[in-house]
Amino acid sequence: MAGAGDTGHAGHMDAIYKTQRHFYDLTRKYYLLGRDALIRDLAPPAGGSVLEIGCGTGRNLIVAAKRWPDAHYYGIDISEAMLETARANVAKAGLANRITLAQGDATAFDTVSLFGVAAFDRIFQSYTLSMIPDWKGALREGAGKLAPGGRLDIVDFGQQERLPGAFKAVLFAWLAQFDVTPRAELKGAACSVARDTGLTASFASLRNGYAWSARLSRAV
């Protein structure tokens, strides 16, 4: 998972994940709910391009590339430590010819210089906005990289609105130890970005509010 910000934040993310990256996927599969459903619904066009902002260990890109083999995949992350693991995982999966990775700040990145690609058919952010200090900036940046007919799909922690208050208190306190802050304003921010950029937005609450998903779509 990635954050965004200045060089200091990149170093902070490297410090967090220097050790965690080795067992990150094993532990996160139990509580990063909704990300596999997002991948199942990607449906990129044949020969299309898919970008993950905050690709972490590369796990999601590998799953997506196997499910949708006719597209090319790209990933950015601010943590070079995570990218080291991602590159190894991609190579092990035999997908280095279809998944391209680069270090980048989610709030400001140039995909032409990084990948030679100006816009993408599908972009997704899976449990990243809750770790990015300027998360609204990251949302706008992602939306700005959509090709005509493209979609930006987001899944992240919700506000546990239909779950017991004690569960929310314990979960949020635990997440805070990893600099994770579920974004209560996610729906409003997604709708605002959509209005400002000529996109359409949809929003859903998953698992009784455990997770939220949003989709921003550009017309053809």
Q: Which two tokens stand for residue 88?
A: 């190894």
Residue 18 belongs to some domain of the structure = yes
- Residue 29 CB coordination number (10 Å): 12
User: What local confidence, expressed as pLDDT, does residue 180 receive?
Assistant: 95
Average pLDDT rounded to a whole number, residues 55-78? 97
Residue 1 lies in a domain: no
Longest dimension (CA), the chain: 48
Question: pLDDT tens-digit profile of 160-204?
Answer: 999 999 999 999 999 999 899 999 999 999 999 999 999 999 999
Number of Cβ within 10 Å of residue 197's Cβ equals 15
Instruction: Evaluate the CA torsion angle 8, 154, 38, 105 in order and state its sign.
Output: negative
Residue 15 has pLDDT above 90, yes or no: no
Q: Report the share of the chain in percent with pLDDT over 70.
A: 86
- Where residue 78 sits, what CATH number does that domain have? 3.40.50.150
More confidently predicted of 40 and 4: 40
Distance CA 83, CA 63 (A): 16
Looking at the chain, the whole-number percentage of residues with pLDDT higher than 90 is 85
β-pairing verdict for 146-157 and 120-126: parallel
Q: Answer yes or no: is 106 within a domain.
A: yes
Pairing state between β 211-217 and 200-206:
antiparallel
Single out the residue of 158, 155, 152, 157 nearest to residue 215, CA to CA.
152
Rounded Cα distance, 218 and 48, in Å: 15
Across the range 82-99, mean pLDDT stands at 97
What is the C-alpha to C-alpha distance for residues 204 and 22, in angstroms, rounded to an integer? Answer: 32
Structural domain total, the chain: 1
For residue 16, how many C-alpha atoms fall within 13 Å in the half-sphere facing its CB?
Answer: 21
Structure-token pair, residue 220? 């053809």
Q: Which domain holds residue 207?
A: 7-217
SS3 of 150-212: the string is EEEEEEEECCCCCCCHHHHHHHHHHHHCCCCCCCCCHHHHHHHHHHHHCCEEEEEEEHHHCEE
Average model confidence (pLDDT) across the chain:
90
Calpha distance 11→14 (Å, rounded): 5
- Give the pLDDT mean for 103-119: 97
Identify the H or E element spanning 87: helix 80-92
Handedness of CA 81, 143, 157, 136 (dihedral sign): positive
**In this structure, is residue 185 part of a structural domain?**
yes
Among 29-43, 135-149, 167-181, the least confident range: 29-43
Residue 20 has pLDDT above 90, yes or no: no
